[in-house]
Amino acid sequence: MDIIHLLPDSVANQIAAGEVIQRPASCLKELVENSLDAGASRIQVIVRDAGRTLLQVIDDGSGMSETDARMAFERHATSKIATAQDLFALRTMGFRGEALASICAVAQVEVMTRRKEDEMGTFLEIHGSDVVRQEPCQCPVGTNFKVKNLFFNVPVRRKFLKTDQTELRNLLTEFYHIVLVYPKVQFTFVHNDEILLELPSGTEKQRIEAIFGKSGGKSYTGQFVDVATDTELVSIRGFIGKPEAATKNAQQYFFVNGRYMRHPYFHKAIMTAYSGMLTGETNPSYFIYFDVAPETIDVNIHPTKTEIKFRDEQMIFQILMAAVRESLGKFNLTPSLDFNRDGEIEMPLGDLDASKPHVVFDPNYNPFRTSKYEGGTRGKERTVSNWEKLYAVPERPVVPVNQDQPAVLFDTPIADLTPYKYNKYLLLPSTAGLLLVHYRRAHIKVLYEQYIGQLSAGKGVSQQLLFPEVVDLSPDDMVLLAAIADELRFVGFELEQFSKTAYSVSGVPALLNAQDVQTALTNILHAVRETGASATDRWRRQIALALAKDTAIPYSKTLTDEEAKHLLDRLFALPDYRLTPDGKTICVLLSDTDLARKFE
């Protein structure tokens, strides 16, 4: 008997929905993006119980015809692209035609929609992919989407949702990512009948102020300076916080072609530009908007992923860093620097290669405006003062190999190499030159990815403690710990509230030393508190990083050959093995040319 058959659409859509719609926030994102794609100038978001019972998005966009309204819920139904070629010139937020099909598979959806040219609108009600009602209706031009009882037919998902407080934070984070790129569009956000945000149409700066400015306090954006640069590769605009306005909880946002993105490597460019200007553990705020030709970034990004690949990443790194420096310099922000300090300004590779001739930054130099750049300061011997050092463009702090194919790095499998151990580094030959790997950072990176995996899978490996440990906490840490208790369980902690002021821990992540429980928890709470009231995924990154730092090999311990190989094997299997999650360099490559230069 043949046993293979095609899944009914409703089941296929429900499976696909798992990818696209993971929580109320992903649903909100899809709906609001659709409204923007429909050219709306006013968008209202109405939420109940953090999106569990109701997520409603009302727009004054184009609306849909009766047939389109019906079509919109089919899988791969889209009005935004027609051919594969269109993928390379995307200017809309959506293009996959998956969102509505996914949402209606896992919720009860009602939509009312009308185009300007139609007298009557269309009302449509769909429960778990089944159309239960469709009729003409009276309604304003635009579209009004109600998503009720999300995951009503997927109990596992529903149970997996976090507390309302956390889900609401996720909703807001997702909302910020969108509204920050559409300042002209008017938005409101209502939760349980309370208006949380009312954002009038305005400039980007006004939008930022409306969201992050404290009412009555001093102007948030008053602490900003503008960044602007235009090259053939990229145009960069935005705002950066003055160094003295840096705080522990900085707002840091990158956008590309109207989309929010995370980009640890570009983050590093900004931090490098600020080096020497920040005190303590403070961070500058930034809101940077990139504009690039759509074909130079990877469009086929997963709907829930926020990392974006750039073709000219290293060039843009340099351009961004130069632009930020220029702004900091132009607005006279540099004099707060201590010019008496010598060589303390931390630069990638700085300490490794102090003898290398410095490339001096010339604010008027733009590699893309002139094609025959010969003159300038490049290559000329110059005495470099501290001021100029600040403007030195460091060599890119990365391994210049194709990021997608770490395998091309080596002629021989890593298992057959014996890395040489020197100091904090592992040395090994690669096809591109001599590679130095900072082993503790490498370990942090590998463990971080492992913990992130456990956090999203919801299961980590735990070791039982012989005697449960009681950890005393301050009242606010008690609240914070309660909020992240689930995440901690995911990475292997077994813990329960013991009293009003203490938790009892009976199990810990497999790699953690039993005697380090208190410290590890304190470090995690500290890291999470630093991120402020933010989204779970940001918390998760903090938890994973804090834990990775606590369980990574200390400098005092040396690796065995086997451990070293294993570590490198895992490191180079990661897509981005060059930087730690907090932007520190893991690998440095000394190319044959670098070496030859040393022996000149």
Could you give the count of Cα atoms lying within 13 Å of 259 in the half-sphere of its Cβ? 27
Give me the helix-helix angle, 313-330 and 264-273, nearest 10°: 30
Q: How many residues bind ligand ADP (CB under 6 A)?
A: 24
Helix, strand, coil shares of the chain, percent, nearest 5, are 35, 25, 40
Shortest separation between residue 64's beta carbon and Mg ion, angstroms: 12
Shortest separation between residue 20's beta carbon and ligand ADP, angstroms: 9
Task: Name the binder of 506 from Mg ion, ligand ADP, none, CB < 5-8 A by kind.
Answer: none
Determine the 3-state secondary structure of 425 from DSSP. strand
Task: Name the binder of 565 from ligand ADP, Mg ion, none, CB < 5-8 A by kind.
Answer: none
Shortest separation between residue 446's beta carbon and ligand ADP, angstroms: 36
Shortest separation between residue 80's beta carbon and ligand ADP, angstroms: 4
Site residues (CB under 6 A) for ligand ADP, limited to 49-68: 59, 61-64
d(CA 440, CA 509): 19
Q: Which of 13, 26, 34, 327 is in the footprint of ligand ADP by CB under 6 A?
A: 34
Structure tokens at 274: 């600020």
x/- map, 95-134, ligand ADP, by CB under 6 A:
xxxxxxx---------------------------------
Determine the 3-state secondary structure of 525 from DSSP. helix
Shortest separation between residue 114's beta carbon and ligand ADP, angstroms: 10
Could you give the count of Cα atoms lying within 13 Å of 235 in the half-sphere of its Cβ? 7
d(CA 264, CA 241): 18
Task: Name the binder of 64 from Mg ion, ligand ADP, none, CB < 5-8 A by kind.
Answer: ligand ADP
d(CA 289, CA 254): 6
d(CA 106, CA 148): 10
Shortest separation between residue 72's beta carbon and ligand ADP, angstroms: 3
Shortest separation between residue 27's beta carbon and ligand ADP, angstroms: 11
Inter-residue contact 500 to 478 (CB < 8 Å): yes
Task: Name the binder of 78 from Mg ion, ligand ADP, none, CB < 5-8 A by kind.
Answer: ligand ADP
What does DSSP say about strands 462-472 and 425-430: parallel, antiparallel, or unpaired? unpaired
Shortest separation between residue 434's beta carbon and ligand ADP, angstroms: 47
Helix intervals (H) in 21-94: 24-37, 66-71
Task: Name the binder of 125 from ligand ADP, Mg ion, none, CB < 5-8 A by kind.
Answer: none
Strands in 262-306 per DSSP E: 286-292
- Write the burial class of residue 554 (CB in 10 Å: 0-12 exposed, 13-18 middle, 19+ buried): exposed
Is there binding between residue 35 and ligand ADP (CB under 6 A)? yes
Structure tokens at 481: 């710990």
Shortest separation between residue 103's beta carbon and ligand ADP, angstroms: 8
Q: For Mg ion, give the closer residue by CB, 35 or 173.
A: 35
Determine the 3-state secondary structure of 438 from DSSP. strand
x/- map, 348-387, ligand ADP, by CB under 6 A:
----------------------------------------
d(CA 338, CA 283): 18
Structure tokens at 49: 């119980």
x/- map, 66-95, ligand ADP, by CB under 6 A:
------x----xxxx-------------xx
Task: Name the binder of 96 from Mg ion, ligand ADP, none, CB < 5-8 A by kind.
Answer: ligand ADP
Is there binding between residue 45 and ligand ADP (CB under 6 A)? no
Buried/exposed 358-367: b ≥16 CB within 10 Å, e otherwise: bbbbeeebee
Strand partners, 228: 237
Query: Which amino acid does the sequence have at 430?
Result: S
d(CA 487, CA 506): 16
Which element (helix H / strand E) includes 562? helix 561-572
d(CA 125, CA 123): 7
Q: Which of 17, 21, 25, 38 is in the footprint of ligand ADP by CB under 6 A?
A: 38
Task: Name the binder of 61 from Mg ion, ligand ADP, none, CB < 5-8 A by kind.
Answer: ligand ADP
Query: Which amino acid does the sequence have at 243?
Result: P
Shortest separation between residue 94's beta carbon and Mg ion, angstroms: 3
Site residues (CB under 6 A) for ligand ADP, limited to 274-333: none
Query: Which amino acid does the sequence have at 596?
Result: A
Residue 491 to residues 221, 451, 497, 523, Cα–Cα distance (Å)? 38, 6, 18, 15
Shortest separation between residue 180's beta carbon and ligand ADP, angstroms: 20
Strands in 74-213 per DSSP E: 108-114, 121-127, 130-137, 142-148, 186-191, 194-199
Q: For ligand ADP, give the closer residue by CB, 14 or 450.
A: 14
Task: Name the binder of 168 from ligand ADP, Mg ion, none, CB < 5-8 A by kind.
Answer: none
What's the length of the chain?
Answer: 600
Task: Name the binder of 77 from ligand ADP, Mg ion, none, CB < 5-8 A by kind.
Answer: ligand ADP
Site residues (CB under 6 A) for ligand ADP, limited to 399-438: none
Task: Name the binder of 38 from Mg ion, ligand ADP, none, CB < 5-8 A by kind.
Answer: ligand ADP
Task: Name the binder of 221 from ligand ADP, Mg ion, none, CB < 5-8 A by kind.
Answer: none
Shortest separation between residue 93's beta carbon and ligand ADP, angstroms: 7
Residue in the shown chain whose Cβ atom is closest to ligand ADP: 94
- Applying CB under 5 A, the residues found at the interface with Mg ion are 34, 94, 99
Shortest separation between residue 526's beta carbon and Mg ion, angstroms: 39
Q: For ligand ADP, give the closer residue by CB, 97 or 397.
A: 97
Query: Which amino acid does the sequence have at 160?
Result: F
x/- map, 561-580, ligand ADP, by CB under 6 A:
--------------------
Structure tokens at 84: 């594969």
Binding region for ligand ADP (CB under 6 A): 30, 34-35, 37-38, 59, 61-64, 72, 77-80, 94-101, 143
